[in-house]
């Protein structure tokens, strides 16, 4: 089947919306199968897109353009390149997995839940395919609403606080981004004298890259900072990450999966697609600072993960650490770094998504996520333990599974710019093994804990449907681990374009001393603040007992 003459992108974007309407109209009995059917249809459509996509060609494919608000040159314009193809397929895959995984856990307001999830998919896919900045912004905001509802209605005990925080935090960033989008459009209009193309990403990128043109330094800096804030909050980068543990902890399982799997990627995608190509000079100027923030996120996220008493919080902080590699890889402006960043985005989506699903499996049976209460699952639920172990090691960057390649490429790219920065980031190999094996060893090894033993027959091994949600993820983790070339080939065009846009193909040089100095100062500040707190008698030890067996030696 050829996808050349049908508006495949619009179909992928709006099929879930049709699904949401159908689900709304159909009687409640059909809610689940109908929602799953539309999610699967969308998935199949996205796979057809992937098959039809030609990786070798530069630029965007399957472009669709329709005039929308001609007065300001705003268009409905969508198109796909390797990066967006990969992200779209990731999204559609995780969406049907999430819907399937929600069949059992979600028992009230099922219809509303499924509608919210399908609308969420519209927003996410739209973000990855939009080539008009205004359209991009609309989709970006569409994502917020269903997510707000998913956490706020189907979440845990503290869901209102978490979801309001999530929405407000994200809104702050995105409103500034809207201002930046408008400012960019105005600047384009005043430079070219026409609104034509003022929101068109392709036109804007050409303008930004043209040797005579480009945006003024002031506009670049301001707009980049606004974009940066929006994307940094989404990624999330240190110190804008604190909404994430709350949102993850309170969200229902599928909400956490989609949050970690796709929503965080919106930030990384935004950096690569928009912030870098449109404002390359500002990106260059701010790169050292962003690299330092990424390093802090990588190390700090991992260290804080070491002392988490709650399974979901632990995985949430590990996300902060892992996503640090995405921003690190992007802002070293070389081929390996960008490749690593993109691979890391996909792999983190697969692996962390699976980890949240696995935490959900346990939560379904225990209604608890406290690590200290659990142990000995290997004896009682061996299949679960084996699958959990698989994803734990995948997350820990075991070579042969997909997590390794992305992180290693990002590290190689970083090493080329600053060996010191790479050395700092590489420490996560130790810390990551620390928190992952602490979690895995605690809940899987040992004798069955009293708490779990008290559950009796409720504590069953993982069920076929639950396995079904994990099998596609595990398969992809193995495939991309052994043949990362499949993914690398797909995104090569995007990588080339990004590297070229950012640095004209030459690597920037960041002295190791700079990294060490800034990093050291930040660390010193953190330590000083901690010290101050300690002196003033505030308890900073927290659940130190949780670490008693969490570290390297015992």
Partner 1 sequence: MSLETLAPLLLILPLAGFLVTALIGRRLGKQAHWIPVLGVFVVWLIAMGLVVNVLTGAAPLIEGSEETHGYAIALFQWIPAGEFVVDVGIYIDALTACLLIVVTTIGLLVHVYSIGYMSHDPGYWRFFAYLNLFMFSMLLLVLSDSWLVVFVAWELVGLSSYLLIGFWYRKRSAALAAKKAFIVNRVGDVGFALGIMAIFINTGAAGEATLDIRQSIEILLHEGNANPIPLFVVALLVFAGAMGKSAQFPLHVWLPDAMEGPTPVSALIHAATMVNAGVYLVARANPLFASAPDAMVIVAAVGIFTAILAASIAMTQTDIKRVLAYSTLSQLGYMFAALGVGAFTAAIFHLMTHGFFKGLLFLGSGSVIHAVHEEQDMRFMGGLSKKIKITYVTMLIGSVAIAGIPPLAGFFSKDEILGEAFKLHFEWVWAIGFVVAGLTAFYMFRLMGLTFWGEFRGPKAVWDKVHESPWVMTVPLILLAIPSVLLGMALGLPLGDSTIHHWLEPVFAEGVELLGHEEAAYTLFGIDGMLILTSVGIAAIGIAIAWALFGTDLAGLHLPARPERVRELSARIPFLYRASLNKWWFDELNHVLFIVIGGRLAAAMWWFDRNVVDGTVNAIGRTTMEAGVGLRQVQTGRVQNYALGIAIGLIVMAGSYLLLAGN
Return the range that interacts with partner 1 (CB under 8 A); candidates 10-18, 189-197, 208-216, 331-339.
331-339
- Please report how close the Cβ of residue 398 comes to partner 1 at its closest, in angstroms: 6
Should residue 3 be labelled a site residue for partner 1 when binding is judged by CB under 8 A? no
Which residue among 104, 109, 458, 529 contacts partner 1 (CB under 8 A)?
Answer: 529
Should residue 528 be labelled a site residue for partner 1 when binding is judged by CB under 8 A? no
- Please report how close the Cβ of residue 126 comes to partner 1 at its closest, in angstroms: 28
Q: Does residue 122 contact residue 17 with C-beta atoms inside 8 Å?
A: yes
Nearer to partner 1 by Cβ, of 288 and 397: the residue is 397
DSSP letter for each residue of 380-422: H-HHHHHHHHHHHHHHTT-BTBHHHHHHHHHHHHHHHH-HHHH
Which residue among 105, 441, 472, 512 contacts partner 1 (CB under 8 A)?
Answer: 441
Which contiguous run of DSSP H or E holds residue 76?
A: strand 74-80
SS3 130: strand
Should residue 471 be labelled a site residue for partner 1 when binding is judged by CB under 8 A? no
Nearer to partner 1 by Cβ, of 185 and 326: the residue is 326
- Please report how close the Cβ of residue 393 comes to partner 1 at its closest, in angstroms: 6
Nearer to partner 1 by Cβ, of 130 and 247: the residue is 247
Nearer to partner 1 by Cβ, of 158 and 483: the residue is 483
Return the range that interacts with partner 1 (CB under 8 A); candidates 98-106, 194-202, 265-273, 418-426.
418-426
- Please report how close the Cβ of residue 78 comes to partner 1 at its closest, in angstroms: 29
Residues 234-263 that bind partner 1 (CB under 8 A): 238-239, 241-243
- Give the count of beta carbons closer than 10 Å to the beta carbon of residue 44: 14
- Give the count of beta carbons closer than 10 Å to the beta carbon of residue 71: 6
- Please report how close the Cβ of residue 296 comes to partner 1 at its closest, in angstroms: 11
Per-residue burial over 2-21, b = 16 or more CB atoms within 10 Å of its CB, e = otherwise: ebeeeebbbbbbbbbbebbe
Residues 359-388 that bind partner 1 (CB under 8 A): 376, 378-379
Should residue 551 be labelled a site residue for partner 1 when binding is judged by CB under 8 A? yes
Q: What is the dihedral of CA 242, 244, 245, 247, to 10 degrees?
A: 120
Should residue 165 be labelled a site residue for partner 1 when binding is judged by CB under 8 A? yes
Which residue among 3, 482, 508, 516 contacts partner 1 (CB under 8 A)?
Answer: 482
Reported for 375-379, long-range contacts at CB under 8 A and 24+ positions apart, including other chains, are 375/442, 375/443, 375/444, 375/445, 375/446, 375/447, 375/448, 375/449, 375/452, 376/444, 376/445, 376/446, 376/447, 376/448, 376/449, 376/452, 377/443, 377/444, 377/448, 377/452, 378/444, 378/445, 379/447, 379/448
Residues 166-225 that bind partner 1 (CB under 8 A): 168-169
Which residue among 47, 183, 303, 514 contacts partner 1 (CB under 8 A)?
Answer: 303
């Amino acid at each position: 089947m050829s996808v050349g003459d049908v508006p495949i992108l619009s179909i992928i974007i709006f099929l879930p919306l049709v699904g949401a309407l159908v689900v709304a109209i159909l009687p409640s009995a059909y809610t689940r199968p109908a929602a799953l059917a539309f999610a699967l249809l969308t998935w199949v459509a996205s796979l057809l897109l992937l098959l039809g996509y030609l990786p070798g060609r530069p630029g965007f494919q399957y472009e669709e353009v329709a005039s929308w608000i001609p007065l300001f040159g705003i268009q409905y314009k969508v198109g796909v390149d390797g990066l967006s193809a990969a992200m779209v397929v990731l999204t559609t895959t995780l969406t049907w997995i999430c819907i399937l995984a929600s069949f059992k856990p979600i028992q009230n307001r099922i219809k509303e839940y499924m509608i919210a999830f399908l609308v969420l998919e519209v927003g996410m896919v739209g973000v990855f395919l939009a080539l008009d900045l205004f359209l991009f912004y609309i989709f970006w905001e569409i994502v917020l609403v269903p997510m707000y509802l998913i956490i706020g209605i189907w979440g845990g005990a503290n869901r209102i606080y978490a979801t309001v925080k999530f929405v407000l935090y994200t809104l702050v960033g995105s409103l500034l981004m809207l201002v930046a989008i408008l400012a960019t459009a105005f600047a384009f209009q005043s430079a070219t004298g026409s609104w034509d193309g003022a929101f068109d990403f392709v036109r804007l990128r050409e303008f930004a890259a043209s040797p005579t043109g480009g945006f003024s330094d002031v506009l670049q800096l301001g707009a980049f900072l606004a974009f940066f804030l929006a994307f940094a909050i989404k990624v999330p980068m240190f110190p804008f990450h604190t909404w994430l543990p709350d949102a993850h902890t309170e969200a229902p399982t599928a909400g956490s999966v989609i949050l970690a799997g796709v929503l965080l990627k919106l930030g990384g995608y935004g950096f690569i697609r928009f912030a870098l190509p449109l404002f390359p000079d500002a990106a260059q100027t701010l790169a050292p600072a962003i690299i330092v923030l990424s390093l802090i996120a990588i190390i700090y996220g991992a260290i804080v993960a070491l002392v988490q008493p709650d399974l979901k919080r632990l995985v949430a902080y590990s996300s902060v650490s892992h996503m640090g590699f995405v921003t690190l890889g992007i802002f070293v402006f070389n081929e390996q770094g960008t490749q690593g960043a993109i691979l890391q985005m996909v792999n983190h989506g697969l692996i962390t998504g699976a980890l949240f699903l696995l935490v959900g499996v346990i939560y379904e049976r225990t209604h608890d996520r406290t690590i200290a209460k659990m142990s000995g699952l290997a004896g009682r639920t061996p299949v679960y333990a084996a699958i959990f172990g698989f994803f734990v090691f995948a997350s820990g960057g075991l070579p042969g599974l997909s997590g390794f390649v992305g992180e290693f490429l990002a590290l190689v790219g970083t090493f080329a710019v600053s060996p010191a920065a790479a050395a700092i980031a590489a420490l996560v190999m130790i810390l990551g093994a620390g928190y992952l094996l602490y979690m895995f060893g605690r809940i899987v090894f040992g004798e069955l804990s009293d708490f779990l033993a008290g559950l009796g027959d409720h504590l069953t091994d993982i069920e076929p449907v639950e396995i079904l949600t994990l099998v596609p993820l595990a398969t992809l983790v193995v495939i991309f681990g052994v043949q990362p070339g499949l993914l690398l080939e797909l995104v090569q065009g995007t990588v080339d374009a990004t590297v070229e846009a950012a640095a004209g193909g030459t690597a920037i040089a960041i002295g190791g001393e700079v990294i060490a100095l800034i990093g050291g100062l930040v660390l010193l500040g953190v330590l000083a603040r901690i010290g101050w707190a300690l002196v003033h008698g505030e308890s900073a030890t927290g659940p130190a007992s949780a670490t008693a067996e969490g570290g390297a030696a015992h």
